[in-house]
Amino acid sequence: MSTETLGLLRQPKTVLFGPGRRAQLPYLLKPLGATVLVCTDERMAGSAEFAGIRDSLTAHGLDVRVFPRVEPDLPRENVEALLAEVDGGEIDVVLGVGGGSCLDFAKVASIMVRRGGNVADLYGENLVEGPGLPLVTVPTTGGTGAEVTCIAVVYDADRGMKVGVASPYLEPYAAVVDPELTLTCPPGLTAATGADALSHLVESFTGREKHPDPEHLHRHLYAGKNVLTDMYALRGFTLLNSSLERVAQDPSDLAARTDTMLGALSAGMAINTAGTAGAHAIQSPIGALTHTSHGFGVGALLPYVMRFNLPVREAEFAEIGVAFGITDPALSQTARAHAAIERMEEILGALGVPLNLRDLGLEPDQFTYVAEQAMLATRLTANNPRDLSEAAIVEILKRGYADDRTWWEL
C-alpha cells in the first residue's frame, strides 16, 4: 500500500442487523432514559409494525411520546413544529423510525430538543456546538443509509433548496436494521431507495482520494475514498447486484430484502466518511425543479455521471465489475469497466428507474440554472473524481436529456 494510505470510518456505537431484531429496542433504549421521543411519519405511525414497537417499549416501562408528522424531504417547518410541541426537559432519548427523512428529522431533533435555537444556524459542516440527546435509528427503507450517517438534509423553503446539517454530534448512538420493516415499503419507494443505495456505492468507491492531513481530518467530516470505505462499498456492490432485481420481482422475498438492507447499510457506512459526489450535487436542483424523488434523480443521472468520470476511474469501475462477477480474463480493463456501468444500468432499469433526464421532466432551458446551483454544493463537487465545472455539468445534462450513452473520453 502507499505510504499515504488512509482508513477511516465513523459509525454508531452499536449496529444490530437482522430480521426481527427490532425486538431488542427496549433493551437498547431503557439504559438511556425513561422518556422516549419517537419520530416517524403518518404512514408508519398507522402501521401494525409501529404499534408493535411502541407496545414493546411501554411494556418495558418506557414513557413513549410520538411525533408522527415528518414529511418527505424534511421541511424545516417540521422541526419548528416539534419544538413548539415538545418540552425538551422531559425527553431522555430520541428514536427515529422510518425512511431517510424520518431518520434525518430524528438526528436534528436530538440536537434541537436538548440545545434549542434555530436549525438554520446549523446548516453546514461542524456547526453543532455539542452533543444532543442519545439517538437510536430504525430504518424502514433499504437505501438511504441515514441510519448510520452523521448528516441530516433539511428543505428550507426560504432558500428554495435542501441544505445539510453535518456534524459528528449527529451520529446515532445505535442503529437497529430490521429487514422485516421493509416488506410493506411501497414499490416506488423501494425502487427509489434502491437506486439511492447504488449511487452511494458508486460515488464512495469512485470518489476522490484526498490524503488529508491531521488538521483536515479534525475540521472536516469527509476524508474521501479510503481503504475501509472501499471494503464496505465492494461488499455492497456484490449484495445489490443480485438483491435489487429480486426485490423488484417479488417484494415479499425476505431474503432479497435482507440482502438489499445489508447492501444499503454498507453504502451508508461508506458515504459516512467518503461522502457523495457529482450525481448528488446535480440532483438537488433537478429535484427542486421537477418535484421528482431523490432516488430516481440520482439514478437517472448515474449513467451520464459515471461516463463523465470513467476516463479517470477506469480501474475502479473495472473492480466494480469483479464485484458484479465480470471476471472473464479475456476482457480488458476498459471492457470490464464498461460492462460494470452497463450492469448498473440493467439493475436501475429493473427497478423502473428512469434512465434519462427527459423522463424526469427537466427542460433544456433549465440546464444552466441546474449547473449553477450544483456548483454551489462544494462539499459534494469536491468529492467528484473528475473536476466539475458549470460547462461540464451542462454537457452531462445534455447527454442525459438526449439519452446519449456513448463513452466519454478526455
Say which amino acid occupies 265.
L
Query: Which pLDDT score, from 0 to 100, does residue 211 have?
Result: 86
CA distance 221 to 274: 9
Domains parsed from the chain with CATH numbers = 14-182 (3.40.50.1970), 187-402 (1.20.1090.10)
Which residues share a beta bridge with 67? 39
CA distance 31 to 174: 12
47 and 183 Cβ atoms separated by less than 8 Å: no
Conformation bin of residue 211: beta by default, left when phi > 0, alpha when psi is -120 to 50: left
Strand order, beta sheet including 161-166? 124-125, 161-166, 151-156
pLDDT in tens, 150-186: 999 999 988 888 889 999 999 999 999 999 999 999 9
For the chain, report the end-to-end CA distance as a whole number of angstroms.
Answer: 28
* Region 305-318 average pLDDT: 97
270 and 240 Cβ atoms separated by less than 8 Å: no
Query: Which pLDDT score, from 0 to 100, does residue 4 have?
Result: 64
CA-CA-CA-CA torsion sign (112, 373, 403, 406): negative
For residue 70, pLDDT beyond 70: yes
Query: Which pLDDT score, from 0 to 100, does residue 162 have?
Result: 85
CA distance 270 to 91: 31
* Region 107-125 average pLDDT: 92
Query: Which pLDDT score, from 0 to 100, does residue 89 have?
Result: 84
Please report, for residues 4, 87, 97, 307, 364, the alpha-carbon distance to residue 407 in angstroms, rounded to integers and kept in the order given. 32, 57, 42, 6, 22
Query: Which pLDDT score, from 0 to 100, does residue 104 have?
Result: 97
pLDDT in tens, 352-396: 999 999 999 999 999 999 999 999 988 899 999 999 999 999 999
Q: Whole-number mean pLDDT of the chain?
A: 94
320 and 205 Cβ atoms separated by less than 8 Å: yes
For residue 3, pLDDT beyond 60: no
Higher pLDDT, 204 or 213: 204
Q: Note the pTM of the prediction, 2 decimals.
A: 0.94
CA distance 101 to 119: 15
Say which amino acid occupies 268.
G
Conformation bin of residue 12: beta by default, left when phi > 0, alpha when psi is -120 to 50: beta
